[in-house]
Chain A
Amino acid sequence: MSKRTAERKIVEQEFLPHLDSLHRYGLFLTRDTTMAEELTQETMLKAIRASFQYKEGTNSKAWLFRIMTNTFLNQTRRRKKIYELDEGTMNVEEEAEVGQVFVHSNQTPEQSFVTMLSKSKVREAIEKLPPEFRSVVVLADLEELSYKEIAEVLSCPIGTVMSRLHRGRKLLRTRLMSWALEMGLVKGVEEEDEPKETISLEDYRRSTGPTTDQ
């Protein structure tokens, strides 16, 4: 097989099946259709140019996502000012505080209030997540990458992936729930973050003040 044919085979069998996924991730990264298209194309071309590095058995999806993430980060570094201004509207700490309130809706565990929200609302909630949370949530929940793969795509430790994923999901859930409440789609009762059943005896004693055995 000539090198050209081999190259084409890799592209067709390993790269092109992920085109939709890549484009979708590109949309979440850039939040702009034109930029997402450019980013997807650039990622494919870079992958082709580096395809001689591609060994059989490599996780092509994670590999392509990694190229896309790096390309995106390089581009945003160049347009740093716009990027910072854009993200400046987010206040993570504020959002995390909101996240302390755990809201129980009047739904059973078999239903989710999310289905009552419009698609565009759900998309908006994800797009408004700070970028470092947005990437992990999209990669884990939409693209179903493992923690290890995400760590590889984002070049960060697995622990970072887990904590970002935890915070990102919490933020997302809180925001969606507060929208659903605002719109009157669900009725909810606000409770403390920890449901009563999970509070241990020690926690309970601490919360009710000094005990006799001190």
Chain B
Amino acid sequence: MRCEDIKRFASLYIDGEFDELEGARFEDHLEHCETCRDMIQSTRVFQQALVERLNPPRMPRAVRDRILEAVDAELSAAPRPWIWKVPMAAAASIVLAVGIYAALPGVGENAEAEEVETLVEESVAVHEAALPPEVEGNGDAVRGFLAEKAHLNLRPPIEENDSTRLLGVRLTRIGKSRAVLYHYLHNNRSVSVVQIPRRHLETLRGNRQLIPASTRVLYDGARRGYNITLFEGSGSTNTVVSDMPSRELRKLIPASL
């Protein structure tokens, strides 16, 4: 290694980005070169001094208390209508109960409304958290991943074109159902779609509904500053979340899926 390389890669070394071997090669040079040793040392000392100068006391007590209070309020808020928030032992009877309810006029719709509410709430939370995709790439890469690695027979919910790009997907869960989170970029605005296999809703409805040929919008509204459209196609239920105007958002929904 030459002094030049040392200078060029000093940050990598100081920031601890090198592996053991790389670090050892770097140190070999430092051992024999006083100039480089001094340079590294003074950079280190500069950074340490900077941190010491900036390290503020902990946050003010009053601020901490106010935030903790808000956190506590959020944690003890009345549970949202999450239907899977039921102890496992009771789960079987719930499925049965839903089956019966679904046969009664009006009650099945109530269960569906709750399901929609859940999907909307959790999809917004997922969009806000903006977790990075597990697989990056366009429709082809994503389809391959879903079929081969995740064994999910699902198709990307939004068509790709010049203004709409699929950036990648992430596997997640919504309640008991496996779900896929799609990251799209539409005219440079971020759009998330949470997709769950259709089976999940069918259980709820007692398998009585016919599979629609065209997509059906179940919810269209706004929440916490985002616009949301929830639609179902033949194989999946999809919740689209973005800060785009809802009219623009609706245009992304395919006629069939």
Assess the A166–B47 pair: CB atoms within 8 A.
no
Does A111 make an interface contact (CB < 8 A)? yes
Q: A20-B59, A53-B172, A123-B54 are in contact. List 12 more A-B contacts (CB 8 A).
A: A11-B71, A23-B59, A37-B66, A53-B125, A53-B131, A66-B130, A109-B45, A123-B53, A146-B17, A155-B130, A198-B3, A200-B2
B49 near A20: Cβ-Cβ < 8 Å: no
Does chain B have a CB within 8 A of A173? yes
Smallest beta-carbon distance B80→chain A, Å: 9
Of A7, A37, A173, the residue contacting B46 (CB under 8 A) is A173
Output the residue of A112, A117, A146 with the most chain B CB within 10 A: A112
Chain A residues whose CB sits within 8 angstroms of the CB of B47 once the complex forms? 141
Contact A3 B70 (CB under 8 A): no
Query: Is residue A181 within 8 Å, beta carbon to beta carbon, of the partner chain?
Result: no
Most A CB atoms within 10 A — which of B35, B41, B85, B132?
B132
Q: Is the CB of A44 within 8 A of B79?
A: no
User: How close is B63's CB to chain A, nearest CB, in angstroms?
Assistant: 5
Give B180 Cβ to nearest chain A Cβ, in Å. 13
A122 touching B66 by the CB < 8 A rule? Answer: no
In the complex, per-residue mask of B40-78: 1 if CB is within 8 Å of any chain A CB, else 0: 011001111111111110110001101110110011000
- Give the interface SS of chain A, mostly helix, strand, loop or mixed: helix
Q: Is B129 an interface residue (CB 8 A)?
A: yes
Query: Which chain A residue shows the least CB distance to B70?
Result: A41
A50 touches B75 (CB 8 A): no
- The residue that B3 contacts in the complex, of A46, A169, A172, A197, with Cβ under 8 A, is A197
List 25 A-B pairs, Cβ < 8 Å: A2-B87, A4-B75, A4-B79, A20-B58, A23-B63, A41-B70, A44-B67, A44-B71, A46-B128, A48-B74, A49-B121, A49-B124, A50-B126, A50-B129, A53-B131, A66-B131, A112-B42, A112-B48, A114-B53, A122-B50, A141-B47, A141-B50, A146-B15, A165-B11, A169-B11
Task: Please tell me the number of chain A residues within 8 Å of chain B, measured between CB atoms.
Answer: 58
Q: Is the interface of B mostly helix, strand, loop or mixed?
A: helix
CB-contact partner of A19 in B42, B49, B59, B87, under 8 A:
B59
Could you tell me the distance between the alpha carbons of A110 and B43 in the complex, rounded to whole angstroms?
10
Residue of A41, A47, A109, A155 with highest tally of chain B CB at under 10 A? A109
Binary contact track B169-210/A, C-beta < 8 Å → 1, others 0: 000110000000000000000000000000000000000000
Assess whether A117 is in contact with B45, with CB atoms less than 8 Å apart: no
B41 close to A41 (CB less than 8 A):
no
B residues bordering A, Cβ < 8 Å? 2-4, 7, 11-12, 15-17, 35, 37-39, 41-42, 45-56, 58-59, 63-64, 66-68, 70-71, 74-75, 79, 82, 85, 87, 121-122, 124-126, 128-132, 172-173, 225, 243
Shortest Cβ distance from residue A24 to the other chain B in the assembled complex, whole angstroms: 6
- Contact between chains at A200 and B4 (CB < 8 Å): yes
Give the chain B neighbours of A46 by CB distance below 8 A: 125, 128-129
Q: Closest residue to B181 on the A side, CB-wise?
A: A53
